[in-house]
Structure 1
Amino acid sequence: MNEQEDPRRRFAEECRSGRELYPERQLNQDQLARMLRTSRSTVSRVETCRGPIPPDLPPLLDQVFSTDGLFKRLYEEIVSRSHPALYRRRMALEREAIAVREWSPTVVPGLLQTPDYARLLFRAGNPRASEGEISASVAARMARQGILKADVPPDVHVVLCESVIRRLVGGREVMGEQLAALLKHGAKATTRIQVLPLDAEAHLFIDGAVTLLTDPHNVTRVCADAFRTTAIVEDPEQVRRAVRTYDGLMGEALMARESAYLIKDQMEKLT
């Protein structure tokens, strides 16, 4: 891959070029850092391709340099290329989706995770990883959540097994913050969170997390996650089975308001 094809190098070059060719005057790294509300060392790392890019930096760079989303698009490409091909396709489908339906029997889905919660899951999954590798993984996961902050975010519906909110991931403080984040997400008009009680009947999705992604053409694909991989199901009959199963889970789960009460009650027990 040459430099022109490497989005990380282009991100660095565009940042340095924008700083040096700033219309009013050439900016040094300290001056740009103040405009971005970050540190000079962060700007330096970005311009020399060292370490992960903070996920809140690309939109700030677009604002300072009036680049109409260039840095945001480059950042999305950087994050995408850090994942295997199947995950890259899944993430591309996720970015384009007008509706996201999630089921999780074990942990809070990535789109709704807090950084500390995500960090603990990455560390548990890869205990030999360096802190830099873990930080890069967390940053990539947080970047995925950008779709929830878009001008027109997708409709998001999440059904969680009750065990997800009761499992103490990372201790009382980390889990308490994660439950508070779920309540915040659930209060949005475009997001609905339901909890499936532990005594619910067995179902097709019982042994793994599943995501249904619907694109602007109303085509739905099913992403089934397993150990370090994901399967993307497009066969119409299998998709219909998955949609029927998800509709059944919604019917069996507590209503959104009751689910919020349960999440809040569990959160208060941790404080």
Structure 2
Amino acid sequence: MRYGPAVRRRKLGAELRRQRELTGMTSREAAGAVGWHQSKVSRIETGSSGVKPSDVARLLDAYRVSDPELRALLGALCGSGSADAAGARRGWWYAYRDRLPAAYLDFISLESEASVARTLETTVVPGLLQTAAYARAVTRAALGDPPEQRVAELVQVRLARQSVLRGEKPLELCAVLDEAVLRHEVGGPEVMAEQLRHLLRTGSLPHVRLHVLPFSRANHIGITGPFVIFSFPRIADLDVVVLDHLTSSLYLERKEDLRAYGSAFTTLRAHALSHENSLDFIAGIAGIGVGG
């Protein structure tokens, strides 16, 4: 059974090692406390093997970690949709585990557990901000005339992902959009007009910030391509950069990569329009007032 991508396993293992060290226990002592061989603790801490939520719970019990938010986060990081007797919740995407690529499931699970997402998009509206019609047009274009049932299923998943922007503790989303994202008439004029209006509505949410990079500021670092930086509550070391490619996703976790992309995003945001001016800019392209 898979228990998540290597990047998440390694970061989970590093945090479990940190919690063990806070107690002053050696890996041998930790293994003895939960009835395992020391090699199992070592494999978990290095991320070389998967770990079930129930095993994470046993280690956290041994380390006397009682914080429910931290326990829930570490349990969720065990993998995309995995659950066992420990009672770890299954994500909504679990129902799609046999019909979606593993890389996409991994991306969704990271997105669902993150507290902050910073994203640069250079060609299309970010998935979390797409309308159903826009998502349908993008999906058809990406897959090359797939069966309508497959399109409908993928659009349903795309819309379900947007639940992270709702709820008691919604994802904080900061998106830098190249002007080309707003100018490409994906799906035709009507679909694009509704998509722009949807951006204005979503952009009014207190936890969503939009920043447009106009063509007049085209000489910027954004030409390196789109990326997403996920940050997680309580544990900065779990941050990860995701680069999407045509057939796969690349996860970057090294501190130097995180610093480089974090710095790039800060630079992009500084060169882009403010959130308020960006909404005005979008409204101008849509031909409506911000309140329209």
TM-score higher than 0.5: yes
Q: What is the distance in 2 between the residues matched to 1:234 and 1:242?
A: 11
Secondary structure at the counterpart of residue 82 of structure 1: coil
Amino acid at match of 1:163: A
Cα root mean square deviation, aligned: 2.1
The aligned counterpart of 2:138 is 121
Partner of residue 179, structure 1:
196
Q: Which residue of 1 aligns with 2:259?
A: 240
Helix, strand or coil at the partner of 2:215: coil
Q: Match for 1:250: what amino acid?
A: R
**Matched residue, 1:43:** none
Amino acid at match of 1:185: T
Q: Please list, as runs of the form range in 1=range in 2, the aligned pairs for 1:45-60 lying within 5 A after superposition.
A: none
Equivalent in the alignment of 2:215: 198
The one-letter amino acid paired with 2:134 is Y
The runs of 5 or more residues in structure 1 that have no matched partner are 2-69
Q: 2 CA distance for matches of 1:74 and 1:255?
A: 35
| Equivalent position of 1:266 in the other structure | 285
* 1:98 counterpart residue number: 115
Amino acid aligned to 1:254:
L
Are residue 226 (structure 1) and residue 280 (structure 2) matched? Answer: no
Q: In the alignment, what sits opposite 2:157? A: 140
Cα distance in 2, alignment partners of residues 232 and 83 from structure 1: 18
Aligned pair in 2 of structure 1 residues 74, 226: CA closer, same or farther (>3 Å)? closer
For 1:131 and 1:211, the matched residues in 2 are separated by 29
- Mapped partners of 1:227, 1:199: distance in 2: 29
In 2, are the aligned partners of 1:120 and 1:169 still within 8 Å (CA)? yes
Residues 101 and 212 in structure 1, CA contact (< 8 A), matched pair in contact too: yes
- Residue 77 of structure 1 is matched in structure 2 by 94
Query: In 2 relative to 1, CA 200–259 (structure 1 residues): closer, same or farther, beyond 3 Å?
Result: same
Write out per-residue CA displacement over residues 105-158 of structure 1, whole angstroms, 9 at most, x where no aligned residue: 001010100000010011112233111010001001111111111221011100
Deviation of residue 74 (structure 1)? 6.0
Per the alignment, do residues 103 and 80 of structure 1 end up closer, same or farther by CA in structure 2, a change over 3 Å counting? Answer: farther
Letter in 1 for 2:114: A
Letter in 2 for 1:208: G
AA partner of residue 147 (structure 1): V
The answer to which of 136-145 and 216-225 deviates more is 216-225
TM superposition shift of 1:202: 4.0
Of the three residues 144, 150, 154, the one matched with 2:167 is 150
- TM-score under structure 2 normalisation? 0.65
Change (3 A) 1:109 1:81: farther
> Any stretches of 5+ residues in structure 2 without a counterpart?
2-86
Q: Percent identity?
A: 33
Pick the aligned partner of 2:272 from 232, 235, 253.
Answer: 253
Q: Which amino acid aligns with 1:170?
A: G
Q: Is the 1:208–1:225 Cα contact (8 Å) retained in structure 2?
A: no
